[in-house]
Amino acid sequence: MIISILGIIAVQGYWIYSAWKNKEKEFSLAVQQSLQVVSKEVQERELSDYISAYEKIIDNKGNPSESKYEDIFLFLDEDKPNNLISYYTYSILEEAYNISPYLDPKLGEIPSEVKDYKSVRNTMIIKKENVFDRTNNLPSSIERIKTVDRINVYNQALRDRFMNYSMNLPIHKRINIDELDQLLTREFNEKDIQTPYEFVIYNEGLSTKIKSNNYEEEQKGYRYSTPILLNEDGNSPYELVVSFPQKDEFVFSSILGIGGLTMFLTVFIVLVSMSALYQIIRQKKISEIKTDFINNMSHEFKTPIATINLALDAISNPKTLGAPDRILQYLGMIREENSRMLSQVENVLRISQLERSNEPIQKEVVDLSDIIHESIAHIRLILDDNQGSIKTYFKAKNTLFWGNESHFTNVVVNLLDNAIKYCETAPKVKIYTENENQNLILHIEDNGIGMSPSTQHKIFEKFYRETSGNIHNVKGHGLGLAYVKKIVDLHKGTISIESKKGKGTQFTITLPQKEKYHS
């Protein structure tokens, strides 16, 4: 499962990375295409402006002073099924206009003779039997088609030597900043590039006056460039550079939707898998704890049962029947072992009942001092048997609280019993009470074996014991402190623990006293 999760994460990560790179390539390609279109359109617009100026001059002059054909081409095509022959001719018509020399603001000095060039195409279709009839004047057998067009802008500009002239003009007289900005915006919008940009035109590595308002020499972001205003050789000292300060954010936003969904599903799968793993480990741990509990319970019952059986065998012995003192002794042993088993069963039933019951425990006004004295009386014999001692320090002026005397007595008895059992030397227990911020506080401190930090985090879990199996030095079921925690919670109190391995343990119980006492 873990390998599968790692594989899914790796595949999704690679997919997102690949999608990012593909979007970056698409972005770069779209920007480069847009810059090339803008560069071409800027140059065509400039040529168109100059050609328009020449055309105005020619239109003002009217008829040309001289015209002649240059570069005449002839093509022949024979249509045998229809008995027709087609003649195609293509030529360039040169028309010269004599004008007075003057200075044009766009074109500079205009020469005294301006020439216009047109392409002329002729088509003549005749019947094959009339091929030698040079007159070809029969309307039914002759069809003439003649068209006259301007030569394309580029060739006409070359003939007017526009290129050589324009290269001598400064760049700010050839390109308008607002027009260039509009062209870039239009092309980027068509390519769906919706992110801020800055532009500048460089002349052989040096920035010119043609730049956007917020452009800086140390412009942040990715930069794209293309040559602009090419000469007749296809070269140019000028370079149009556009930078995108927020390119990464724009590219990321384009894959954010599907990428975010993919990441969400991946995280969801990881969380579900982790939850499943947690449940598997938790169930395995619970199974081990329950097995340990059954083993401990069996061991706890095995000794009293064996003792009772031995006592019964001894009582049934004819020699014992004549000794009443010995019979009473054996009966006392049976009663003691029976009480011991009953106590174990009650502990299990008590915690089970608390877990299943939805009814709150019965509460009344009780005195913590009385509970402490009663609890000490319960464990006095065990304490004396272990040569231990208990010291009390009642610093609390108000020891009354709203609670259940029976259950809370069991809480104190459990804590005192643990203080005695989990001590490798003579137990020395200290009990403190105090009042603080309308709370009643109980401290129970011992000099026992202490607990590690990991044990302290789990000590209040049901069935938990620091070691497992039947190797405990002290037998138990791991229910005592779970019961203590449950009862303290039902009293709306808190319990905390401070312990160091080999240094002893201190339990602190805090109970609220702000509730109204009801009889």
- Tens of pLDDT, residue by residue over 106-141, are 555 555 555 666 666 667 666 655 444 434 433 444
Most confident of 95-109, 370-384, 495-509: 495-509
Q: Does residue 207 register a pLDDT over 50?
A: yes
In the structure encoding, which two tokens stand for residue 385, read together? 């048997």
Total Cβ atoms within 10 A of residue 446: 24
What pLDDT is recorded for position 176?
84
Q: Does residue 145 register a pLDDT over 50?
A: yes
What pLDDT is recorded for position 139?
41
- For every residue of 379-428, DSSP letters joined together read THHHHHHTT-EEEEEE--S--EEEE-HHHHHHHHHHHHHHHHHT-SSS-E
β-strands 142-150, 222-227 pairing: unpaired
The backbone torsions φ and ψ at residue 199, rounded to the nearest 5 degrees and listed phi first, read -135, 160
What pLDDT is recorded for position 4?
84
Q: Does residue 431 register a pLDDT over 60?
A: yes
What pLDDT is recorded for position 140?
41
Interacting residues of 305 by C-beta distance below 8 A, sequence separation 6+: 337, 341
Q: Does residue 495 register a pLDDT over 90?
A: yes
Show the CA angle centred on residue 193, arms to residues 215 and 208, nearest 5°.
Answer: 25
User: Of 135 and 214, which is predicted with more confidence?
Assistant: 214
User: Residue written as tokens 């002239």?
Assistant: 165
Instruction: Out of 220-234, 237-251, 276-290, pick the least confident.
Output: 220-234
Instruction: Out of 93-97, 182-186, 408-412, 497-501, pick the least confident.
Output: 93-97
What CATH architecture is 360-512?
A: 2-Layer Sandwich (3.30)
Statement: 278-349 belongs to CATH 1.10.287.130: yes
Longest dimension (CA), the chain: 169
What pLDDT is recorded for position 259?
77
Report, as an integer, the average pLDDT of 241-263. Answer: 83
E strands along 222-347, which residues? 222-227, 238-244
pTM above 0.85, yes or no: no
Confidence of residue 465 (pLDDT cuts 50, 70, 90): low
**How deeply is 151 buried, as exposed, middle or buried, from its count of CB atoms within 10 A (0-12, 13-18, 19+)?**
middle
What pLDDT is recorded for position 511?
93
What pLDDT is recorded for position 138?
37
